[in-house]
Amino acid sequence: MKFAIITHVVHKKEKQQFVAYEPYVREMNLWLKNVDEVQIVAPLSEEEKTAIDSKYIHRHIEFNEIHSFDITSIKNSFTAIFKMPIICFRIYKTMKWADHIHLRCPSNVVLLGCFVQMLFPSKQKTVKYAGNWDPKSKQPFSYRLQKWILSNTLLTKNTKVLVYGEWGNQSKNIIPFFTASYSRDIIKEIKKKNLSEEIRFIFVGGLTMGKQPLKSVQVVQQLKEKGFNVRLDIYGDGVERGRVDNYINQNQLSSFIILHGNSDKEIVTKAYQQAHFLVFISKSEGWPKVVAEAMFWSCLPITTEVSCVPFMIDYGNRGALVTDTIEVIVNKVDEYLNDEVEYQKQIEAAKNWSQQFTLEKFETEIKKLLKK
């Protein structure tokens, strides 16, 4: 099978091998186990590989470089006009070559792919919509346009659109799906996490405005001021790191709030295993893998009500749904710390749910999708 991937994920090249963001590549390698040849259409960076990058595992990969674009300003929109025809041509050429077309949405680049795929109605296609599919959520016009095209079975034929969560009144080609981070082989019993010990919190993800890492810091700061023995470990990097770091230093919080930066998967996994709570006050998500990963290791998520998160935590039975108000979050944590029976009940439910979604199950479902 000739398999085409159209994605906005920025790639890098290291020793004749292509690398990209590890969770994305980990998933794509499961798809690639079932195909003979691969062509990737994506942006390419000259930056060095980082700790959160990983390599594709396949013998026959051809890379078709394109340039990212945005329309956030008049200047950028003008530049995009010149980029789009070249991008569309390369997407068209790759789709024409392929037996199976795989789109990774949402993004500006793949919006063009959504239009080009209409020219290949008879070809088998899958779309992984990694963003928020909630019809009620406020999203950019380009995202809403992608969702409309993908849901329209007259425009998007012979296509399975994989979305996170179960939503009412969807077209027949919309399929609820999931993602996975861990093999069933690494499942092990975690030592009981007692709330009488130092209470460990964890934040994992990009240090961006959308994920609001500073609020996680302020939550743990207030808990410390209330007399609780707490600690917060932050794993990730991004544009908000300087702001978070300055806040920690200015308020003398470094003894119990630690910025680790981007870290290897094994380090983060061990941190989940040691932590009592994940504090994840994000504004927008698709399938927030850090929530599922935390649950996998008996780390209870405290998270905002975005995308399919309410479904994941069973509307408050496998974790807490909160607003992004610091006082509300602190009060919710306080409730758990004063009711260890409820805490233990919920982390057990969270673990049992998350451990259903292993890489083995994920691989089996991918094989089904690739069958004609």
Q: What would the pLDDT profile of 67-102 be if each residue is shown by its tens digit?
A: 988 776 777 778 888 889 999 999 999 999 999 999
Tens digits of per-residue pLDDT, 330-340? 999 999 999 99
Q: Which amino acid is at 280?
A: F
Tokens 């089996």 -> residue: 364
Tens digits of per-residue pLDDT, 346-357? 999 999 999 999
CA dihedral 164, 145, 206, 256 (to 10 degrees): -70
In this structure, what token pair is assigned to residue 125? 């296609």
The CATH architecture to which 2-180+359-370 belongs is 3-Layer(aba) Sandwich (3.40)
- Band of residue 53 on the pLDDT scale cut at 50, 70, 90: very high
Within a 13 Å sphere around the CA of 337, how many CA atoms are in the beta-carbon half? 21
> Which of 12 and 76 is assigned the larger pLDDT?
12
**For range 191-216, the mean pLDDT:** 94
Q: Which residues contact 340 (CB under 8 A, 6 or more apart)?
A: 194, 195
Give the containing element (helix H, strand E) for 259.
strand 257-261
Percentage of the chain surpassing pLDDT 70? 99
Q: Which residues contact 74 (CB under 8 A, 6 or more apart)?
A: none
In this structure, what token pair is assigned to residue 170? 């969807």
Least confident of 88-97, 102-111, 134-143: 134-143
Tens digits of per-residue pLDDT, 269-281? 999 999 999 999 9
Q: What pLDDT does 82 receive?
A: 87
Residue 280 main-chain phi, psi, to 5 deg: -135, 90
| CA pair distance 211, 281, nearest whole angstrom | 6
- Band of residue 15 on the pLDDT scale cut at 50, 70, 90: confident
| CA pair distance 345, 352, nearest whole angstrom | 11
Determine contact, residues 298/192, Cβ cutoff 8 Å. no
Q: Is 181 exposed, middle or buried (0-12, 13-18, 19+ CB in 10 A)?
A: buried
| CA pair distance 369, 371, nearest whole angstrom | 6
Work out whether strand 53-55 and strand 61-66 pair parallel, antiparallel, or are unpaired: unpaired
Determine contact, residues 281/306, Cβ cutoff 8 Å. no
In this structure, what token pair is assigned to residue 14? 């290291």
Q: What pLDDT does 148 receive?
A: 97
- Band of residue 371 on the pLDDT scale cut at 50, 70, 90: confident
**For range 159-168, the mean pLDDT:** 91
Segments making up each domain of the chain, as ranges? 2-180+359-370, 184-354
In this structure, what token pair is assigned to residue 97? 């070559």
Domains 2-180+359-370 and 184-354 share a fold: yes
Least confident of 31-35, 48-52, 205-209, 243-247: 48-52
Residue 284 pLDDT more than 80? no
**For range 49-59, the mean pLDDT:** 91
> Distances in Å between the alpha carbon of 111 and those of 68, 118, 144?
12, 12, 10
Q: Is 322 exposed, middle or buried (0-12, 13-18, 19+ CB in 10 A)?
A: buried
| CA pair distance 110, 88, nearest whole angstrom | 10
Q: What pLDDT does 55 receive?
A: 95
Residue 58 pLDDT more than 80? yes
Q: What pLDDT does 165 receive?
A: 85
| 71-75 long-range Cβ contacts below 8 angstroms, 24+ apart | 71/108
Q: How far is CA 113 from the centre of its chain?
A: 21
In this structure, what token pair is assigned to residue 331? 């009060």
Q: Which of 21-25, 192-196, 232-236 has the highest mean pLDDT?
A: 232-236
- Averaged confidence pLDDT in the chain: 93
pTM score of the predicted model: 0.86
Question: Looking at the domain covering 184-354, what would its CATH class be?
Answer: alpha beta
**For range 132-140, the mean pLDDT:** 87
Q: Helices 289-296 and 340-354 meet at what angle, rounded to 10? A: 110
